[in-house]
Amino acid sequence: MTMTERTRASRTLLRGSTWISGFAFLRSWWRAPAAVGLPLTSSPWTARRLAKAVLEAGRSDGPIVELGAGTGAVTGALLALGCLPQDVVVVERDAELCRVLKKRFHGLQVLHGDALHLGGLLRDVGIASVRAVLSGLPMRAIPAELAARCYAQAFELMPDGGAIIQYTYGLRAPVDPTASEHRFKASFVGREWRNFPPMGIWKYRPLQ
Ligand SMILES: C[S@@+](CC[C@H](N)C(=O)[O-])C[C@H]1O[C@@H](n2cnc3c(N)ncnc32)[C@H](O)[C@@H]1O
């Protein structure tokens, strides 16, 4: 097979897998719309910007943890920026999306479970420290106290500092940094307009 034929074949394969994963996303949304959020994947521009933000935010050793990976738009961007599959752990609650992720990214650790119980999920697979967390969880649909507890568990795994990068279609910080006993600092990173709808990116750090 020539180089051009190989490129064409891999493009067809990629287009095929994008369609298949797109259907998987729609099916998941149909089953549980509130849990999945909008059934739209992040655009390539958003995915790349998020991946860069989380890589820059990490301070300690350990994997990058992605919460609510969906069909893997942002996971793919992390790998494209040079992350090895074994340096990324994704947590996804939907079983079908977990299957899509495992099939799409060989060697990636996919944890099927509720990211609101992040500490326990990671402990169960022997992960005691993480570099940074990227969250695509629909936080505005989750009670503030539960969302804050999820963040608190993530920060416990980043004792030397670190951050949570959270994306949202909303205009305000998706997790109120003062809503619970766990206090955080939220800073707005920017809005990616080449996304439908435009995507807000936030960075959270614990208040010292
Ligand atoms: C809006 S989608 C983000 C998809 C993908 N990251 C992207 O940017 O295209 C949100 C994802 O979070 C997952 N999710 C929602 N609540 C969750 C939870 N508590 N634990 C784990 N995954 C969850 C949904 O199943 C869905 O795949």
What CATH number has the domain bearing residue 202?
3.40.50.150
Residue 59 or residue 35, greater confidence: 59
The residue-averaged pLDDT of 181-190 equals 93
- Closest ligand 1 atom to Cα of 73: 9
Is residue 137 lining ligand 1, measured as CB closer than 6 Å? yes
Band the pLDDT of 87: cuts 50, 70, 90.
very high
Domain holding 54, by residue range, is 3-206
Residue 41 CA, ligand 1 centroid: distance in Å: 10
- Closest ligand 1 atom to Cα of 150: 19
Per-residue CA distances from 48 to 5, 45, 72, 85, 163 (Å): 27, 5, 12, 16, 17
| 15 has pLDDT over 90 | no
Residue 68 CA, ligand 1 centroid: distance in Å: 3
Band the pLDDT of 85: cuts 50, 70, 90.
very high
Backbone angles phi, psi at 7, to 5 degrees: -60, -45
| 138 has pLDDT over 70 | yes
**Segment 139-172, tens digit of pLDDT:** 999 999 999 999 999 999 998 888 999 999 999 9
Closest residue CA from atom 4 of ligand 1? 70
Structure tokens, 52: 């860069």
Report the distance separating Cα 71 and Cα 75, nearest Å.
Answer: 9
The confidence score (pLDDT) of residue 3 equals 43
Domain count, the chain: 1
| 73 has pLDDT over 90 | yes
Residue 67 or residue 160, greater confidence: 67
Residue 82 or residue 2, greater confidence: 82
Is residue 73 lining ligand 1, measured as CB closer than 6 Å? yes
Is residue 200 lining ligand 1, measured as CB closer than 6 Å? no
Is residue 42 lining ligand 1, measured as CB closer than 6 Å? yes
The confidence score (pLDDT) of residue 82 equals 94
